[in-house]
């Protein structure tokens, strides 16, 4: 019952509904493809730690981050508790974008009357999977919020960014906290023991052994939605808050194992190392955003990394 309803995601990349805030005029998010996991050793710099100055083992997730291309922007106005799209602008639709959407070119002419009603501006970006080695051509297209408070400044910034590339280093810095949004692995049809953690019944139990003990009362005579049953498991959207971004680099020699990453291949672009695990299988798009509930921790500075393992994980 921790997550309810257990709805499967509509698409393979996550939707971001809540954005953090920044005073600077820059994008509030990025995206990359999950490569896999490895481990590193970094120097403990916590002020009151018992292991201060010593090397600490830490599992990390490697995410390849090819540049995002800005193909347009969208204006929004406040309507009740939600946002309603006003107008926007697009580039000429290229062959790669045409694989995903069908839209005519719109000129970036914004009326002052629409600016008065506007409350938010967001960049429309596309990924460039052709720059990676995952064998994918169709790009993902999504929106990224912009930091700052002045709407006119945001619109001017969005106009200047159309057609340009955004790199991961333009958005984030080493040592900061980020939120990750991704779609988990799909497990297919699973029983209640694996799906809900139901206890396996003893050998003297009637009927099934790997099932719930009771389906509910006789009256009212209908199935209760809280009773664990078999069904499709996984492929859900999940958000992980306050992940420590330990490293941003473009030195691919220091991250590629001999023969490439198992199930992924060779990292060819900028990459980041996030502390811990990230939801989703390899090659899945992970959206990374500015934290919306950032913790105050003593690890805001980039860690001193002593060693990163690039041994083949088989």
- Token pair belonging to 111: 């009326």
Within the chain, where are the H helices? 95-98, 112-117, 151-161, 192-196
Q: Is 12 exposed, middle or buried (0-12, 13-18, 19+ CB in 10 A)?
A: middle
Helix/strand/coil for 113: helix
Is residue 111 within 8 A of residue 88, CB to CB? The reply is no
- Token pair belonging to 134: 């995952």
Q: Give the tens place of pLDDT for each residue, 136-191.
A: 989 999 999 999 989 999 999 998 999 899 999 999 999 999 999 999 999 999 99
Centroid of chain to Cα 253: 25
Is residue 303 within 8 A of residue 43, CB to CB? The reply is yes
Centroid of chain to Cα 309: 24
- Domain ranges in the chain? 19-65+174-183+230-314, 66-166
Domains 19-65+174-183+230-314 and 66-166 share a fold: no
The CATH T-level fold of domain 19-65+174-183+230-314 is Elongation Factor Tu (Ef-tu); domain 3 (2.40.30)
CATH class of this structure's domain 66-166:
alpha beta
Please give the chain's pLDDT, 314 residues, in tens: 678 888 899 999 999 999 999 999 999 999 999 999 999 999 998 888 899 999 999 999 999 999 999 998 999 998 888 888 887 777 766 777 777 776 655 555 566 666 778 889 999 999 999 999 999 989 999 999 999 989 999 999 998 999 899 999 999 999 999 999 999 999 999 999 999 999 999 999 888 999 999 898 899 889 888 899 999 999 999 999 999 999 999 999 999 998 899 999 999 999 999 999 999 999 999 999 999 998 876 556 789 999 999 987 65
pTM to 2 decimals?
A: 0.91
For residue 140, what are the contacts with CB-CB under 8 A and spacing of at least 6?
Answer: 12, 13, 31, 100, 126, 127, 129, 285
For residue 292, what are the contacts with CB-CB under 8 A and spacing of at least 6?
Answer: 18, 19, 20, 179, 241
Is the peptide bond between 309 and the residue preceding it cis, with omega within 30 degrees of 0?
no
Q: Return the C-alpha torsion angle 123, 239, 2, 186, nearest 10.
A: 100
User: Residues 44-53, buried b or exposed e (16+ Cβ, 10 A)?
Assistant: beeeeeeeee
What is the spatial distance between Cα 171 and Cα 68, in angstroms, rounded to a whole number? 11
């Amino acid at each position: 019952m921790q997550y309810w309803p257990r709805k499967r995601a509509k698409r393979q990349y996550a939707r971001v509904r809540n954005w953090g805030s920044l005073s600077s005029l820059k994008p509030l998010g990025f995206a990359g493809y999950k490569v896999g996991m490895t481990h590193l050793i970094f120097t403990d710099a916590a002020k009151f730690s018992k292991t201060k100055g010593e090397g600490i083992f830490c599992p990390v997730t490697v995410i390849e981050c090819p540049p995002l291309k800005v193909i347009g922007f969208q204006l929004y106005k406040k309507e009740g508790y939600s946002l309603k799209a006003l107008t926007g602008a697009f580039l000429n639709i290229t062959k790669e974008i045409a694989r995903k959407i069908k839209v005519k070119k719109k000129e970036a002419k914004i009326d002052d009357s629409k600016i008065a009603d506007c409350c938010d501006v967001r960049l429309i970006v596309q990924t460039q999977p052709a720059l990676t080695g995952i064998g994918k051509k169709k790009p993902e297209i999504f929106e990224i919020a912009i930091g700052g408070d002045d709407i006119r400044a945001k619109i001017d910034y969005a106009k200047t960014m159309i057609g340009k590339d955004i790199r991961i280093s333009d958005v984030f810095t080493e040592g900061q906290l980020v939120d990750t949004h991704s779609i988990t692995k799909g497990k297919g049809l699973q029983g209640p023991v694996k799906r809900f953690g139901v206890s396996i019944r003893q050998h003297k139990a009637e009927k099934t052994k790997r099932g719930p003990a009771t389906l509910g009362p006789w009256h009212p005579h209908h199935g209760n939605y809280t009773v664990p049953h078999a069904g499709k498991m996984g492929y859900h959207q999940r958000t992980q808050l306050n992940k420590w971004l330990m490293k941003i680099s473009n030195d691919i020699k220091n991250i590629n194992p001999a023969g490439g990453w198992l199930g992924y291949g060779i990292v060819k672009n900028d990459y980041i190392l996030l502390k811990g695990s990230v939801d989703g299988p390899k090659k899945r798009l992970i959206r990374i955003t500015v934290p919306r509930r950032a913790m105050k921790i003593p690890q805001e500075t980039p860690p001193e990394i002593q060693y990163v393992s690039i041994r083949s994980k088989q």
